[in-house]
Amino acid sequence: MQSLENHFLIAMPTMLDPSFKQTVTYICEHNNEGAMGLVINHPTDFTIGQLLDKVDIENDKSTESSQSLVFAGGPVDTERGFVLHSTKYGFATSSALSEQIMITTSKDVLASLTTSQSPDNFLVTLGYAGWSAGQLESELQQNAWLTIQADPEIIFNTPAHLRWEKAIEMLGIDLAMLSHQVGHA
């Protein structure tokens, strides 16, 4: 099995599941036991400032980051928060996913988001996408997903509504040329 950690799963146009239609999912973990990832292009309608208020974390409402939207990271455990961020150490539960991307789930990272102590770039999600052993591999065989090495530029610096198209463009594919028909050669 080839691990897809630090890769994007790009939903094919045929994906109809509303949780994954036209999504880009960053794969955080992929091994023989399954896979876990975060959808990076489904913003919710509430802000980081509102989320911080909900979990009783003081925050500066005058900052741009306070007004940034929280993303729906996937349909599993939607009350659980994850912060994908540029490399910055010092948080309680950070894990490096690549040289440029870390994930943190502890409240200390949340408390930093509207301060000068925050990571340079970050994306906050609630929930995650999960696959049991062999499930993702089966979906790949059914042509549900395209895959490519993750690019922090898409995660942190591309507007959310353009991430799916930009990820497909990374593959050198013209979106108009993707067929809605599924087949196997």
Within a domain: 16: yes
In whole angstroms, what is the distance from residue 73 CA to residue 43 CA? 9
Within a domain: 183: no
Within a domain: 36: yes
Return per-residue pLDDT of the chain as tens, 185 residues.
699 999 999 999 999 999 999 999 999 999 999 999 999 999 999 999 999 999 999 999 999 999 999 999 999 999 999 999 999 999 999 999 999 999 999 999 999 999 999 999 999 999 999 999 999 999 999 999 999 999 999 999 999 999 999 999 999 987 666 655 555 44
Within a domain: 101: no
Q: What is the CA radius of gyration of the chain?
A: 17
| CA atoms within 13 Å, Cβ hemisphere of 43 | 15
Considering its fold, how many domains does the chain have in total?
Answer: 1
User: What is the span of the domain harbouring residue 20?
Assistant: 7-82+123-177
Instruction: Return phi, psi of residue 12, to 5°.
Output: -70, 155
**Which of 82, 98, 96 shows the shortest CA–CA distance to 149?**
98
What's this model's pTM, rounded to 2 decimal places? Answer: 0.93
| CATH assignment of the domain containing 55 | 3.40.1740.10
Within a domain: 33: yes
Within a domain: 91: no
Contact (Cβ atoms closer than 8 angstroms) between residue 71 and residue 42: yes
